[in-house]
Structure 1
């Protein structure tokens, strides 16, 4: 490779006129202007906006102050000019931050073209409670009976404001779910707060800016409490009250006045509460029953008569477990109108929203007091067009709304959510009309970072389904499904999908939060539960591929975002997990009985048919393969963190496991024990197959695929890597054939059957329109959507060169069955684009590289003398040959390469003979 600086000047003739760079897109801990962070040394990031090609940052200057004027007395950190190209996740190192304080910050940068930016627009971050001592409020509990399906509690307190207000904040959390109200209006736009964590060890609190909501004189603060995950039924074991039998509230209003004084309005014994409100019952699985006749008009405003309300009980809990929210909140993200309203053959009134989604329906209704509208939810209709809810199991997922009468009423539920495409409506007064029903989509508010498109409409629909599967299941935690009596944080599902998730959306804070709960729930011996938060309590059992989430997800987040802190934070958990396997496997380095679930839901004709030809993979092989992989990733993580002793030790473990894997599971001819697709995939992906046998093992994999007429037989653990392994071993054409397969089992079979999300099972709906086993048949289950990773990386060609995409690899894999493919991705440095299209014997490769990064563009089947850049011949000395193509190194900018394209002949798999 030639020195990078050489390439920075390769394209000077086609550069734009030089302009000064600008720093924008400022974030703190990945978030825009976050309020309430409790990280004492938060990290700051920015993007560089520069039109000149090959722009790199040479230096930066950050300043942080308690006032937007950045006057000297208010400045708490000024780095001065720092000669470095770092522009992401710069750790704050100024004066120790104070709690409940807003800090403003700016940055200016210098580039390698001798240009300096102006100071950026100021951004801010605001600290929360940095220690338990910052809390002056006490926990309060309304009078309540520890019973199932009781009314939601309502609490209130009146207080007075007599001086001019500078700022005011509300700090709140709850046992259960809460909604906060001030002077008749809901506080904030977050929903399902405080979210779901391992409540006994970590409980999140939210911070709200309420300055504009306060008024001179009397004010009223109120709250509603619902069961949520804390007290409600959770898990398919129908468990109630796992974390506690009583709901409670902790709330602290902190008001800063113009005279410098601070007043706290706290939850304490002066609050009052009642359970005689309109929410008669609520539950995550059951839905909500609401009687509008029991609404307490004006209960969060002054003048309300609360004489019949009871004093609350003051409770005591350890505030050391309170943590500020570092993840993104759950919001109402979008709204969808009905596409059809009809009656089923049996007369059920059904509304179709056209998209399987997670959320609820906003109801507009006009009728008489006492009339009740019942709304049930379903993902699919049966083969006869009837409403189908058997796959929801014990979840009733029903809204019952009783009207108060007197005009139009608008209702949305408060403490529940449903997974659905269809609703069945009973008791609606009058004709069902589209304007009366709106589907409200909710999920964690993760910025969309990736988009994929190609010339095949069904593949585009598959990408749509992958994205909607993520929307439906990334709801504060990564759930397995949003509809039935489960909706749990299955660790294996999150593990296999995490890389695809990070392409589609900005998931760093989302996973950082959840991984802390993974560590919090880790068993004393080092094993990892099946689900996190762990409400199943399965006798401290761990399963390979599921427990490995503790290692794979932190490493994935480091790779995508160059985030060392998540490795530092999770490293003790990562190490404890691998050490747990080491103890389990002993000196044979084979993890016997380490796989509880095997290659979950692999293809087989019958649910009890485990014969090897139908896709079965030996569980011990799976466990040992993941043992090796996690050891390898732990070694690499130790290297990143500068722990050379652990790096060497766990690399040695990996090599020992690899030798054991070869001895026990690979024949001298390259066959892998069980001869299953997943066996070959894991062996090749995890580097366990000796170099001398890789070609043979890959050929056996291809032989299996071809013998099935280009069908897969993999389950949850083999599917994510199947197409990757084929591409990496020279069989991209086979990967395309699998992706484009439209008959069962395949990715496009559900698309052909009308799916709008990813299914749990390859044949959730069978070819005769009947259903798979109702006990486990979700139609919104993202795991198999992990193929999106291959679509981004291999099909469109956007690959990682260095952590965080500081260096980018563009390496598309065109195929004659597709005319074009394109991906855009918003990295920490800015937007990356990789796309190609073939037309009239010419291929064009389109590339966008963001400032402060570099890239290698690998052009398949190209010859330097035939390649044009932006319509002009490329200089032969700017490229060098690689296997079956050339590489051109570039800096930031937009590029279009074109050259003659010859259809690629299919690589033939040659297998060994015995």
Structure 2
């Protein structure tokens, strides 16, 4: 395969997305070739409306040949898009040798309703005088309709809800998405899902059909937070649905929610809540309720709700789905005499089981993360969340059940009422999270580190359920801004998270105060005044910038720019002076181990943390303004940043180069955010390393310092200390929890103490991703796979592996928007190092190999001069730097030169 091929077409990061309401969607593709140093020099895109043949009369955009090396985020520039229309596109490219590729396979996107006035549907709910709006039971709604004997060409179903919904069409579920319409800032933004149901109508062989929907409280109306608040967004559930049918004769039909729908609450889901769980009574099942001929005479009319359509938006991220099924690894009889399933993995999702029991038999499942030190089922850390599923049997044969509108965080399941002996094959755990595309892989020679990496990934999976939650098990499960910003870079290695965070950041901007303040959690469900802590509110700036760095996505900077500047201006207005932030409530170095007794807040001065983040966010806003071509703003914020840095030095750094905060975190922030240079910087780095050694190679950092700790050590001459920290097994350390058998990241370093006792019942999650931010260091420092800040999105790659890490090999792989990138290394007993690099077409890399200047180097068993366009450059520190184009390379650095 020498000619370049175009593959993996994407629109707004997604494969064949439905219901987009973006007026100028962006297209991207990857390139395949076995030729090295391959670059794209031009492309051509064709887009046709409802036509996979690309007939000229149906083309809405033919770009012609455009000289460009861009293959990601290429903005559609054709005719104005129409609502509920499928746009099919294909791409061809030219490479740097002038060769033209064949056309790619076609892909498509489909628009939703682009104008609120196009909604003919009405919001509906069961009539309040017939069905209690406060009922715990799920609501069921249905309507029959006809297609009048016409042949269906395309049918698209648009739906959303106040609450959570599931749809059925002619007795079968529509789609496999869960927890739709997702959780957004409902007062400002409510997502609409689109479903292609063409095959269901065109192949039915019937003219009469039935649409049905089940509605539950969900995040909209259910209980949220530890204070027990409910109905935060509204006290009435509602459904909005519009089915668009296009017939072969050119006519169109619409089926929409209105008063003609019928409703009941007399169905099998008797209670459902995010924290509570679900109660299902199979004796209330409604056989055929979404099929033709069902007798709904006992149901009641629906009534309409007065709610604006202006907050409706197209879906903006992947949907929540079941992504894996796990079988129990054992059945435990606890010392307390209870029967407990062990799934072998702390997961988020639901249990599915099959039983054959008499009618009315009550079966109960309770979910928990850990067992206590006696081996008994432990639910104390759930606080008021029940995580309970109750099933009442129908009887008369085998019955299979899985909850619909709730999820649990658990590894262990206590069974009550089930017949003994338990057959584990009757049970399975369905793993549920946003269906993000896996993009990263890391492994090394130390199995403990590999387990840590798996724990990080599982923590992300469990907590990226539509929003980035802090924990998935207790009465919280909220989108804490601080947790999200410290973990986002690691998250972007493990999975493709650009759409996920773009959605969430729009909610952050929507919830932002007029003053620019940022809530502690997004969506914001806390009391008034719960906003604007340093390091938490900075998510408004750090998260968009990180997405730009990882994906080269300039649009997210454009869309979030007002939010970013709003946050910096909020800080600017808060301090006693314009440059020092020393007022207001702040979480500080949350859960820092140097905290005073009975305090959650570490010893690092909060005004130091605040001012450090003020400087950092200001620097990122200045860079953002420069990227967007806002030259005046760039100059303004760069000047402000310089003054903050000087003010920080005057306030917190002595003339001799000592830092006022004698903590690890103080030094981490000063180094990470560039608040000291020259000899002062070196002294701070040396002092930080001394502090770590003084603690016996342990950290004392909390949420603020931990994500950056290893990075600043590795980047400032103390990589050996960073390595020893990560390899540390004794508390406090990342490997302590691994040694204790953890399968996810813990909230507390000693969530389970060496004697098996617990840190606390109050705030002790065993699936809390924040400290998993060390995964970023594994990829970028240990394996050496990084991006170039000046050419973001892995268009330009930086490969800086560090084989002096106490390991014999390490390897990182990342599937960027351009394709697979690999950086790996292995060492032999004599000290020789073999590096493995792979770059996708249309990218380049700068490679820096440590301790290689005076050693023989071979690339693919050849002299470097035969492979490289320019000879390697020897650096003062003994490293060697050179450039690579796309392709696979094996680089060997061997014995010293004579």
Q: TM-score, normalised by structure 2?
A: 0.97
Please tell me whether the aligned partners of residues 146 and 246 of structure 1 are also in contact (alpha carbons under 8 angstroms).
Answer: no
Per-residue deviation, residues 261-307 of structure 1 (Å, max 9, x unmatched): 11111100000100111000000000000000000111000111100
Structure 1 gap ranges (5+): 1-17, 903-914
Report the counterpart of residue 39 of structure 2 in structure 1.
56
**How far 1:588 sits from its partner (Å)?**
4.7
Report the counterpart of residue 369 of structure 2 in structure 1.
379
In 2, the alpha carbon distance for the partners of 1:223 and 1:829 equals: 40
Please point out which of 860, 878, 897 is paired with 2:871. 878
Report the counterpart of residue 292 of structure 1 in structure 2.
282
In 2, the alpha carbon distance for the partners of 1:731 and 1:793 equals: 16
Report the counterpart of residue 257 of structure 2 in structure 1.
267
Report the counterpart of residue 324 of structure 2 in structure 1.
334
- 1:96 to 2:117 alignment: no
Equivalent positions of 1:115-130 (< 5 A) are 115-130=99-114
Please point out which of 154, 179, 187 is paired with 1:192. 179
Equivalent positions of 1:319-398 (< 5 A) are 319-398=309-388
Please tell me whether the aligned partners of residues 723 and 805 of structure 2 are also in contact (alpha carbons under 8 angstroms).
Answer: no
Report the counterpart of residue 137 of structure 2 in structure 1.
151
- 1:805 to 2:794 alignment: yes
Report the counterpart of residue 245 of structure 2 in structure 1.
255
Report the counterpart of residue 72 of structure 1 in structure 2.
56
Structure 2 gap ranges (5+): none
In 2, the alpha carbon distance for the partners of 1:764 and 1:389 equals: 14
Report the counterpart of residue 147 of structure 2 in structure 1.
161
Report the counterpart of residue 733 of structure 2 in structure 1.
746
Equivalent positions of 1:209-608 (< 5 A) are 209-214=196-201, 215=204, 216-539=206-529, 541-585=531-575, 587-594=577-584, 596-604=586-594, 607-608=597-598
Give the secondary-structure state (helix, strand or coil) at the position aligned to 2:573: helix
Please point out which of 582, 595, 619 is paired with 1:632. 619
Please tell me whether the aligned partners of residues 855 and 894 of structure 2 are also in contact (alpha carbons under 8 angstroms).
Answer: no
Q: 1:609 to 1:579 in 2, by over 3 A?
A: closer
- 1:140 to 2:140 alignment: no
Give the secondary-structure state (helix, strand or coil) at the position aligned to 2:15: coil
Give the secondary-structure state (helix, strand or coil) at the position aligned to 2:841: coil
In 2, the alpha carbon distance for the partners of 1:149 and 1:467 equals: 38
Per-residue deviation, residues 518-567 of structure 1 (Å, max 9, x unmatched): 00000111100000000003325310000000000000000111101000
Give the secondary-structure state (helix, strand or coil) at the position aligned to 1:533: coil
Please tell me whether the aligned partners of residues 292 and 401 of structure 1 are also in contact (alpha carbons under 8 angstroms).
Answer: yes
Report the counterpart of residue 39 of structure 1 in structure 2.
22
**How far 1:667 sits from its partner (Å)?**
1.6
Please tell me whether the aligned partners of residues 156 and 223 of structure 1 are also in contact (alpha carbons under 8 angstroms).
Answer: yes
- 1:183 to 2:183 alignment: no
Report the counterpart of residue 5 of structure 1 in structure 2.
none
Report the counterpart of residue 4 of structure 2 in structure 1.
21
**How far 1:872 sits from its partner (Å)?**
1.8
Please tell me whether the aligned partners of residues 720 and 805 of structure 2 are also in contact (alpha carbons under 8 angstroms).
Answer: no
Select between 581-590 and 215-224 the one with higher mean Cα deviation.
581-590
Give the secondary-structure state (helix, strand or coil) at the position aligned to 1:452: strand
Please tell me whether the aligned partners of residues 160 and 192 of structure 2 are also in contact (alpha carbons under 8 angstroms).
Answer: yes
Please tell me whether the aligned partners of residues 595 and 620 of structure 1 are also in contact (alpha carbons under 8 angstroms).
Answer: no
In 2, the alpha carbon distance for the partners of 1:730 and 1:399 equals: 54
Please tell me whether the aligned partners of residues 596 and 603 of structure 2 are also in contact (alpha carbons under 8 angstroms).
Answer: no
Structure 1 stretches of 4+ moved >3 Å: 143-149, 604-607
Give the secondary-structure state (helix, strand or coil) at the position aligned to 1:253: strand
In 1, the alpha carbon distance for the partners of 2:527 and 2:511 equals: 10
In 2, the alpha carbon distance for the partners of 1:865 and 1:191 equals: 57
Give the secondary-structure state (helix, strand or coil) at the position aligned to 1:854: strand
Per-residue deviation, residues 399-448 of structure 1 (Å, max 9, x unmatched): 00000001000000010000000000000134211111100000000000
**How far 1:686 sits from its partner (Å)?**
0.3
Give the secondary-structure state (helix, strand or coil) at the position aligned to 1:833: strand
- 1:30 to 2:20 alignment: no
**How far 1:607 sits from its partner (Å)?**
4.4
Report the counterpart of residue 911 of structure 1 in structure 2.
none
Please tell me whether the aligned partners of residues 858 and 885 of structure 1 are also in contact (alpha carbons under 8 angstroms).
Answer: yes
In 2, the alpha carbon distance for the partners of 1:248 and 1:605 equals: 47
Please tell me whether the aligned partners of residues 595 and 622 of structure 1 are also in contact (alpha carbons under 8 angstroms).
Answer: no
Cα root mean square deviation, aligned: 1.4
Give the secondary-structure state (helix, strand or coil) at the position aligned to 2:842: coil
In 1, the alpha carbon distance for the partners of 2:367 and 2:212 equals: 31
Report the counterpart of residue 621 of structure 1 in structure 2.
608
Report the counterpart of residue 814 of structure 1 in structure 2.
803
Per-residue deviation, residues 465-523 of structure 1 (Å, max 9, x unmatched): 00000000000000000000000000000000000000000000000000000000001
**How far 1:605 sits from its partner (Å)?**
7.5
Per-residue deviation, residues 735-765 of structure 1 (Å, max 9, x unmatched): 0000000001111100000000000011100
In 2, the alpha carbon distance for the partners of 1:728 and 1:878 equals: 26
Q: How many residues of Structure 1 are paired with residues of Structure 2 in the alignment?
A: 882
**How far 1:881 sits from its partner (Å)?**
1.2
In 1, the alpha carbon distance for the partners of 2:578 and 2:88 equals: 57
In 1, the alpha carbon distance for the partners of 2:337 and 2:855 equals: 70
Report the counterpart of residue 207 of structure 1 in structure 2.
194
Report the counterpart of residue 10 of structure 1 in structure 2.
none
In 1, the alpha carbon distance for the partners of 2:173 and 2:486 equals: 38
In 1, the alpha carbon distance for the partners of 2:585 and 2:683 equals: 27
Please tell me whether the aligned partners of residues 595 and 603 of structure 2 are also in contact (alpha carbons under 8 angstroms).
Answer: no
Please tell me whether the aligned partners of residues 632 and 650 of structure 1 are also in contact (alpha carbons under 8 angstroms).
Answer: yes
Please tell me whether the aligned partners of residues 16 and 107 of structure 2 are also in contact (alpha carbons under 8 angstroms).
Answer: yes
Give the secondary-structure state (helix, strand or coil) at the position aligned to 2:577: helix
Q: 1:617 to 1:307 in 2, by over 3 A?
A: same
**How far 1:668 sits from its partner (Å)?**
2.3
Select between 687-696 and 117-126 the one with higher mean Cα deviation.
687-696
Report the counterpart of residue 749 of structure 2 in structure 1.
762
In 2, the alpha carbon distance for the partners of 1:45 and 1:345 equals: 57
Select between 139-148 and 547-556 the one with higher mean Cα deviation.
139-148
In 2, the alpha carbon distance for the partners of 1:610 and 1:698 equals: 26
**How far 1:602 sits from its partner (Å)?**
0.8
Give the secondary-structure state (helix, strand or coil) at the position aligned to 1:413: coil
Q: 1:610 to 1:850 in 2, by over 3 A?
A: closer
In 1, the alpha carbon distance for the partners of 2:895 and 2:184 equals: 53
Give the secondary-structure state (helix, strand or coil) at the position aligned to 1:872: coil
Please point out which of 113, 120, 123 is paired with 2:97. 113
- 1:131 to 2:124 alignment: no
Per-residue deviation, residues 104-155 of structure 1 (Å, max 9, x unmatched): 1011111112211001111111111111012110010113566766111000
Give the secondary-structure state (helix, strand or coil) at the position aligned to 1:866: strand
In 1, the alpha carbon distance for the partners of 2:511 and 2:23 equals: 24
Report the counterpart of residue 899 of structure 1 in structure 2.
893
In 2, the alpha carbon distance for the partners of 1:696 and 1:129 equals: 60
Q: 1:403 to 1:542 in 2, by over 3 A?
A: same
Q: 1:844 to 1:149 in 2, by over 3 A?
A: farther
In 2, the alpha carbon distance for the partners of 1:845 and 1:310 equals: 70
